[in-house]
Amino acid sequence: MKMIEIEGGRKLRGSIRVGGAKNASVALIPAAILTDEEATICNIPEITDTDALCDILELLHVKVNRSTESVVINPQEMINTEIEEQYSKKLRASYYFMGALLGKYKKAVMHFPGGCSIGARPIDLHLKGFEALGATVKNEDNKYIVEAKELKGANIYLDIASVGATINIMLAAVKAEGTTIIDNAAKEPEIVNVATFLNNMGAKITGAGTSTIKIIGVEHLHKCFHEVIPDRIEAGTYIIIGALCGEPLRVDNIIPEHIDSLLSKLEEIGVNIEIGPDFVEVLGMEEKLKPTNIKTAVYPGFPTDLQQPFTVLLTQLPGKSKVTETIWENRFMHIPYLKKLGADIEVKNQTATIIGPKKLIGDEVVATDLRAGAAMVVAGLLAEGTTRISNAEHILRGYEQIVEKLQLVGAKISIKEI
């Protein structure tokens, strides 16, 4: 087990460079098997979630050539074999192999996906989408068998604008015969990045980034080169750290529009920021800060993935702030640990009420999931004294070189095996 140890209360100065988006990369890697030639993707972050997907590629006999700058994926000798539990359970996004294998071979067999325990996380909408395209879905011994004689374009309405279902259906439909329309599609920037990748390979997808996506099936997908967008959640996490500990702190290589909802909240509460074309510099906080309320929502609303780190900032605002989580039923697992550090927070149903400002004092805490873990890092950097975060593996699933990046701006942070 890994543990992160932080000596908090230090000011952080300099700049942090954000890597490629986890939630785009984890879809792009499975999507790459759809090419008949090879795909080169640069800016894939070095995190354990992308490592786990590359292991699945190797299981499928796909050639993977990884360097620091790019990953070259060549599926010309691949086989379509069952993805066993030891591979599928390592992360949620293993389920993108269902759509990609179905799209390529009209058959996918894989065990249940894993991932953070932040809610029930059903995949009924993915499966309904596959069925609408002509596939049958069987669920036996904790595995899904999805197969089709033919895949035919269809009109698919998603009851919820699900990121995963939108991407998985795009992957399955890209080589289907005819036209597929996904209505009430998710609009997250990661969806646009995946659609652009597929189009770079010769797919015909329009409307990504809006709630209606149109996919005209094609027979072949060719060689391509693609770049992953910057990780908006990693960017937001460091900007929040900058607000609490920066003096000043610049977060580089980002697309500020992707985090408009966070930036406008920061301005509202009194954090001074400079927004550049590809950076945000956190200059400091006003003397008089204001409390605020946030409600998580699908893009462009306030992202659920930033809710947990942002809650730490709310503990430092005077008065009463509220956080309402609308996407995941179990995303308040960081709250007991924030309380242990000294925060005053009450959770009722899906709303946390935070009374501040409260001084945080370092203690032993747990990263219960990826973003809860990120919240513990934010809290540990702010808190006086030493914070030890166990189960730090969760954090490394989504934050590339987090310890090294924070050390470079002056944090006293280390990671060790316990």
| Contact positions vs ligand EPU (CB under 6 A) | 23, 26, 92-93, 116, 118-126, 160, 162-165, 186, 304-305, 327-328, 370-371, 398
Kind of pairing between the strands at 351-356 and 279-285:
unpaired
Q: Considering the complex, what minimum distance in angstroms separates the CB of residue 305 from ligand EPU?
A: 5
Q: Considering the complex, what minimum distance in angstroms separates the CB of residue 201 from ligand EPU?
A: 20
Residue 192 CA to residue 176 CA, distance in Å, equals 20
Q: Is 245 a catalytic residue?
A: no
Rank residues 41 and 118 by Cβ distance to ligand EPU and give the closer one: 118
SS3 of 358-380: CCCECCEEECCCHHHHHHHHHHH
Q: Considering the complex, what minimum distance in angstroms separates the CB of residue 213 from ligand EPU?
A: 14
Query: Which residue has the closest beta carbon to ligand EPU?
Result: 164
Rank residues 163 and 413 by Cβ distance to ligand EPU and give the closer one: 163
CA–centroid distance for 106 within its chain: 28
Residue 416 CA to residue 109 CA, distance in Å, equals 37
Closest CA to 313 of 324, 328, 300, 323: 323
Identify any residues that bridge with 216 across adjacent strands, giving them in sequence order. Answer: 179, 204
Which residues lie below 8 Å from residue 257, measured CB to CB, with a gap of 6+?
none
What SS3 state is found at 116? coil
Q: Considering the complex, what minimum distance in angstroms separates the CB of residue 68 from ligand EPU?
A: 23
Kindly report the number of other CB atoms within 10 A of residue 67's CB atom: 8
- Using CA atoms, how far residue 131 sits from 135, 138, 148, 160, in Å, is 5, 11, 9, 17
Q: Are the C-beta atoms of 153 and 168 separated by less than 8 Å?
A: no
Q: What is the CA radius of gyration of the chain?
A: 21
What SS3 state is found at 199? helix
Q: Considering the complex, what minimum distance in angstroms separates the CB of residue 208 from ligand EPU?
A: 15
Q: Considering the complex, what minimum distance in angstroms separates the CB of residue 374 from ligand EPU?
A: 9
User: Which one of 42, 116, 224, 245 is the catalytic residue?
Assistant: 116
Rank residues 122 and 318 by Cβ distance to ligand EPU and give the closer one: 122
Q: Considering the complex, what minimum distance in angstroms separates the CB of residue 323 from ligand EPU?
A: 15
Using the Cα atoms of residue 66, residue 397, residue 11 and residue 288 in order, give the sign of their dihedral: positive
Q: Are the C-beta atoms of 409 and 249 separated by less than 8 Å?
A: yes
Annotated active-site positions, please? 116
